[in-house]
Copies of this chain bind each other. A is one copy, B any other.
Amino acid sequence: MDDFIFHNPTKVIFGRDKEQEIGAELKAAGVKKVLFVYGLNSIKQSGLFERILTSLRENGINYTEFGGVVSNPILSHTRQGVALAKAEQVDAILAVGGGSVLDEAKGIAVGALVDEDLWEFYAGKEVEKALPVFTVLTLAATGSEMNGNSVITNEETKAKWNIGSIHVYPKVSILNPALTCSVPPDYTAYSAVDAIAHVIEGYFTKQPGSRLQDRLVESIIKTVIETTDLLMEDPDNYAARAEFEWAATLALNGLTPAGIGPFSFPNHMIEHSLSALYDIAHGAGLAIVIPAWMRWYSARSRTPSQFRRFAAEVFGLHDPVAGIDALEEWFKKIGAPVRLADAAIPNEDIGRIAANAAHLAAKWGIGEEYNSAVIAEILHLAV
């Protein structure tokens, strides 16, 4: 095991109707006024917006509304949020939505306390402080509810960059699985791919030899697969939504990579370019990239024991390649795209995508392993 620091101070409140506790949690933290960040008007139609306002009112919490966060949240809108947070002098950010809303809320929390433009932090400047972030999650996928990550797209440059800081771990995240029952089958599938993607990056790219962390990863993947299958049959299965949601949270809360040593995020690196250039769902992009990357990586005999483990432990198969095939088949079964054409991405764009992704590879320190020629080679396996 390598050295590590594990520090995840987020308080998770999990269960039915728990969003009603948000006001009390804000009050207990001494918050007087929040910026209430959300995405679409669907939270108003569903009644969630009003239930949260009731909880805020009952606890004397003032708020300023800031809706309109889009999937793959964009810098210009985040900047508007920063300006509003400053103008209204809020002392916390309340995010109600999925990973995009949470990620933008974290960006606003950082930008609200500094004079410089928040993009500087996504470009690499260290985050030293942020307003406290509170969340009510409506889509289980990204893990943003229990980590210090935020991804924002600069729509001018098409750069999709991230920050990671202890200061943007949510203080409190409320997870009511019933709120995710309205997620349609396609987005449930993309979310499943996303959660799996979060754990397999470390699993395959680290050095072998961390048996506990490998088992935690396999536990999460098997749970995501089983509960997703149940949800494809019955989207209202609360028990399956609940296990799916907790698995997705644990998939990116620091638990699985603790002690595994250096690893990289090649699938996320390539996918970020797909969703930045084509605005497809992050999980859909990952479903295209992952089988291609796995075939490319395993064919080069990288970490062969991990590919054997994966096939055996997750699918009960003895051949490592059969494990990759099984994962791809499962992606198809739940309706996720597995080829560029499935997402209407022209094969002739591969060069352009690879060039974009190579920038991120360089930023993430894996540019030597993944130059644009290599990325193009991987993407050709998704043709």
The chain B residue with its CB closest to the CB of A15 is B3
Interface flags, A191-207, vs B, CB<8A=1, else 0 = 00000000000000000
CB distance from A328 to the nearest CB of B (A): 23
Contact of A209 among B4, B212, B239, B247 (CB under 8 A): B239
Q: Are B1 and A7 in contact (CB under 8 A)?
A: no
Q: Which of A209-249 contact B (CB under 8 A)?
A: 209-212, 215-216, 218-220, 222-223, 226-227, 239, 242-243, 246-247
Contact of A12 among B6, B212, B250 (CB under 8 A): B6
Q: Are A13 and B5 in contact (CB under 8 A)?
A: yes
Q: Are A242 and B259 in contact (CB under 8 A)?
A: yes
Q: Which of A7-27 contact B (CB under 8 A)?
A: 7-16, 18
Interface flags, A122-144, vs B, CB<8A=1, else 0 = 00000000000000000000000
The CA-CA distance from A5 to B12 in the complex, in Å, is: 6
Q: At the interface, yes or no: A258 with Cβ under 8 Å from chain B?
A: yes
Q: At the interface, yes or no: A348 with Cβ under 8 Å from chain B?
A: no
Q: At the interface, yes or no: A115 with Cβ under 8 Å from chain B?
A: no
Q: Are A14 and B219 in contact (CB under 8 A)?
A: no
The CA-CA distance from A243 to B215 in the complex, in Å, is: 12
Q: Which of A251-307 contact B (CB under 8 A)?
A: 255, 258-259
Give me the 7 closest cross-chain CB pairs, A-B, nearest first. A3-B15, A215-B219, A1-B242, A7-B11, A9-B9, A212-B223, A6-B12
Q: List 16 A-B contacts (CB under 8 A).
A: A2-B15, A3-B15, A6-B11, A6-B14, A7-B10, A7-B12, A8-B8, A14-B258, A211-B223, A211-B227, A211-B243, A212-B219, A212-B247, A215-B215, A216-B216, A246-B258
